[in-house]
Structure 1
Amino acid sequence: MTITRFLGLAALSLGLFATQGHAAPPLEKTEIRYQGWAGQVTWIELAEELGYLAPLKAKWVGNTISGPQDIQSVVTGDVDLGGAFNGAVVKLLAKKAPIKAVLGYYGVDENTYSGYYVKDDSPIKSARDLLGKKVAVNTLGAHHEFMVREYLDRAKLSDAEAKQVTLVVTPPVTGEQALRQGHVEVTTLGGVLRDKALERGGIHPLFTDRALYGNFTAGTIVLHNKFIEQNPNTSRHLVSALARSIEWARNTPAAEVRARFVKVIEARKRAESADTIQYWKSTGVAGTGGVIKDSELQIWINWLVKDGLLKPGQVKPADLYTNAFNPYFNNAEKLAAAK
């Protein structure tokens, strides 16, 4: 049985339980292994704090260094769920990795976005001015690199010209310093690092990811196909808990969300600071409860086709994800997906 057909049948059977008033089927697992982020709160941690995850328990196995590393850990079986920028997810899935995207978990809006900053006295005013220059990004093959490439592409720079722009992998916490000390001409800043840098002044954005794409969900959480097949009830409960947490944060005053985040960070006792939480403003997730749309993956499929890594029509967005476990995905769409 294919994973797609399995998901359709699972969604229908679970929906039947709900409509007939039966108790939820028993969960196959008791805990979910995940990686965290220092000084941040992930959705599974918030779900546990809000009581949505129970009777499941979240088991922290360490912190991740990047989204691509996080989802690769799902492939290798070191964790049960992971999340990354959609471009990285598409790239891994295009290589036939046995995973499925199940939920959008971060994105871009008027409060949450990444900017590509230059010093106020910089001669760089346009994409063409970047030729021969260095741009700091957190990692290669992920969100920040793709946005730089999209900016250059929209300015109609040739592939040869685009290769003259050097991407320098730089830890986000040192990105501002790298710019101010002249190690790079452009640096990528988001969230608290962006806001603190702007408070210090002397820099401005050359462009932002929101200026390129508007509001959009940028990353998805994935599960291993074997995990879904062996744990359909757990998969549904887990995704539902995460989706409910996202929706809670989308509809709760930011100050209250920040207070919950601080509580979680202080309770987990990982010798870290919660100071950056004061700068949290929004989830950035565009879809209700993190429901995934074709367009959020098609953007990056198009890029892989352009790069020659995929053939036109080789991969379709619907093959890469499922909304079957998301309670905010309406019943009509569930039935259509199961056919």
Structure 2
Amino acid sequence: MSMTHRSARSAGFWSGSVAATKIRYVLWAFALTLGLVGQALAEPLEKTEIRYQGWAGQVTFPELAEDLGYLAPLKLKWVGNTISGPQDIQTVVTGDIDIGGAFYGAIIKLIAARAPIKAVVGYYGSDADTYYGYYVKEDSPIKGARDLIGKKVAVNTLGAHLEFVLREYLARNGLSASEAKQVTLVAVPPVTGEQALRQDQVEVAALNGVLRDKALERGGLRKLFADTDLFGNFTGGAYVLRDKFIKENPNTARKLVEGISRAIEWARETPPEEVRARFNKIVAERKRNEDASSIKYWKSTGVASKGGLITDQQLQVWIDWLVKDGLLKPDQIKASDTYINQFNYYRSGKAAEAR
């Protein structure tokens, strides 16, 4: 090949290389411009700090969402801990925190009392791995629902998940309303429920998670029934926001709920050992001087629907129960009036239409 030919090919190569580089640069600049335009067009968040209550030794889904990067630029502000869902959502109603979660029955009762809140994402429930069991001592004469008449049952709080499930168990097993009232519920901190049972302060204790597993490891207890025996796998409660918060901060509400729903789905789909590792990291980094030993017993979210999407059916079962128990009038409240899915990351078609 002549020098002339080699020079021509070399010139062609460099010419093509420079052209390709220019094209790549133009494409990069175009993509960058689109990104900047998208940021500029994105509606700004009305507020960037979200107040919430935590649970000692546990990781909430807002905390997980923040750690996974799903909330940025939102920041969480921890204002203290709670041990009760009803207390948590009452604190939302009073405006002392922005988001809180509780059992659906407690949410329905508050809304029926004209509390201006909406359920926005389901966050806990029961399945084969995560459930509430009602336990008696192994040698207890209690074998069924009728044996509970005149007995005491330890629950974490009154008017919430554990009371509703117990009342349903009694009703399904034929106890009349007057007979059911003879079963006494005793509010006992969850960490002392097992002790109260073993020391005969109560005849039954409702236990779940690490407290249940540790109690069973020590032996001497027998399961009377579980919430899953009555309802199967179900989502039992949701996070709520005030109507005013949603109206005044729609972009913030969307960012918050989308992030939480993504965190819930991450925990549902990720192997439990990885979730536990993430929880341990979060607890260690927040430095609240708490015992995180219970995390090793975490098995599942218990949430039955993708990303905590809420359905009429999830709430209707508790509305029906409240009507049956005389706490609500028939048709006093509709399930569809108690919640919205419009901010959930997994809403139908990811379209932000309210139902």
TM-score, L = length of structure 1:
0.91
SS of the aligned residue for 1:84 comes to: strand
Query: Contact conserved, 2:130 with 2:301, CA < 8 A, in 1?
Result: yes
SS of the aligned residue for 1:44 comes to: helix
Residue deviations 1:71-97, cap 9 Å, x none?
Answer: 011110000000000110000011110
CA distance in 1, matches of 2:208, 2:327: 29
Aligned residue for 1:229?
247
Residue deviations 1:286-311, cap 9 Å, x none?
Answer: 01000001111111111221222222
CA distance in 1, matches of 2:326, 2:296: 43
Instruction: Please tell me the residue identity of whatever aligns with 1:273.
Output: D
CA distance in 2, matches of 1:118, 1:50: 40
SS of the aligned residue for 1:101 comes to: strand
CA distance in 1, matches of 2:73, 2:158: 38
Is 1:58 the equivalent of 2:76? yes
Aligned residue for 1:287?
305
**Superposition misfits of 4+ residues, deviation over 4 angstroms:** 332-335
Q: 1:328 aligns with which of 346, 351, 355?
A: 346
CA pair 149-202 structure 1, distance change in 2 beyond 3 A: same
Aligned residue for 2:51?
33
SS of the aligned residue for 2:78 comes to: strand
CA distance in 2, matches of 1:215, 1:83: 19
Aligned residue for 2:324?
306
Aligned residue for 2:166?
148
Give 5+ residue unaligned stretches, structure 1.
1-20
| Identical counterparts, % of pairs | 69
CA pair 277-167 structure 1, distance change in 2 beyond 3 A: same
CA distance in 1, matches of 2:326, 2:127: 31
CA distance in 1, matches of 2:183, 2:351: 43
Query: Contact conserved, 2:146 with 2:175, CA < 8 A, in 1?
Result: yes
CA distance in 2, matches of 1:182, 1:299: 33
C-alpha deviation, 1:333, in angstroms: 7.9
| Number of residue pairs the alignment of both structures matches | 318
Instruction: After TM superposition, list the pairs within 5 Å mapping 1:111-190 onto structure 2.
Output: 111-190=129-208
Instruction: Please tell me the residue identity of whatever aligns with 1:120.
Output: E
Instruction: Please tell me the residue identity of whatever aligns with 2:345.
Output: P
SS of the aligned residue for 1:223 comes to: strand
CA distance in 2, matches of 1:331, 1:128: 49
Instruction: Please tell me the residue identity of whatever aligns with 1:319.
Output: D
Instruction: After TM superposition, list the pairs within 5 Å mapping 1:89-128 onto structure 2.
Output: 89-128=107-146
Query: Contact conserved, 2:343 with 2:352, CA < 8 A, in 1?
Result: no
Instruction: Please tell me the residue identity of whatever aligns with 1:155.
Output: N
Where relative contact order (Cα < 8 A, 6+ residues apart) is larger, the structure is 1
SS of the aligned residue for 1:40 comes to: coil
SS of the aligned residue for 1:29 comes to: coil
Is 1:191 the equivalent of 2:209? yes
RMSD of aligned Cα (Å): 1.4
TM-score, L = length of structure 2:
0.87
Residue deviations 1:97-125, cap 9 Å, x none?
Answer: 01111000000011000000011111100
Aligned residue for 1:77?
95
- Bigger Cα Rg: 2
SS of the aligned residue for 2:330 comes to: coil
